């Protein structure tokens, strides 16, 4: 279950295929990762009922902690709880997201991205 949550639910954002950020994300802090060509970005995201996350990737690692949980619906229509208190890591360039927040509770996350400088924070997965 933890693996599934990490793959499917990490970054809960709606954005166009060419967009490079999320309208639900509020950046708290950004800094260079010492001795690398990477940066660390800490954010809070709140995704309200009805908001839809698109499949996306990050050019680096994304760690998240669910501050306030809710229920999500996967592309196949399956409804899954996304509980408060879970934490996971999405690895570099692995597609994740692709769900809709349903019910009456918003989902609120604390995210930490450690990503390549100069690349978009959110990107469309490459075509197969």
Give the pLDDT confidence score for residue 53 in this predicted structure.
82
Percentage of the residues of the chain whose pLDDT score is greater than 90? 64
Instruction: Calculate mean pLDDT across residues 82-88.
Output: 96
3-state secondary structure the chain: CHHHHHHHHCCCCCCCCCCCCCCCEEEEEEEECCCCCEEEEEEEEEECCCCEECCEECCEEEEEEEEECEEEECCCCCEEEECCCCEEEECCCCCECCEEEECCCCEEEEEEEEEECCCCCCECCCCC
| Superfamily the domain 2-116 falls into | Jelly Rolls (2.60.120.10)
**Residue of 2 and 29 predicted with greater confidence:** 29
Question: Is this model's pTM higher than 0.75 or not?
Answer: yes
Confidence of residue 5 (pLDDT cuts 50, 70, 90): very low
**Residue of 115 and 128 predicted with greater confidence:** 115
Give the pLDDT confidence score for residue 13 in this predicted structure.
36
Q: How far, in Å, CA of 34 to CA of 61, rounded?
A: 16
Confidence of residue 20 (pLDDT cuts 50, 70, 90): low
Percentage of the residues of the chain whose pLDDT score is greater than 70? 84
């Amino acid at each position: 279950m933890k693996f599934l949550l990490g793959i499917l639910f990490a970054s809960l954002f709606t954005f166009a295929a060419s967009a490079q950020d999320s309208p639900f994300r509020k950046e708290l802090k950004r800094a260079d990762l010492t001795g690398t060509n990477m940066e660390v970005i800490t954010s809070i995201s709140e995704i309200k009922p009805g908001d839809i996350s698109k499949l996306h990737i990050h050019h680096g690692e994304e760690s998240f902690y669910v501050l306030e949980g809710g229920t999500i619906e996967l592309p196949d229509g399956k409804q899954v709880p996304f509980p408060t208190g879970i934490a996971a890591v999405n690895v570099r360039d692995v597609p994740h997201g692709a769900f809709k927040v349903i019910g009456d509770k918003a989902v609120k996350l604390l995210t930490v991205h450690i990503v390549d400088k100069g690349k978009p924070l959110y990107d469309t997965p490459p075509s197969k």
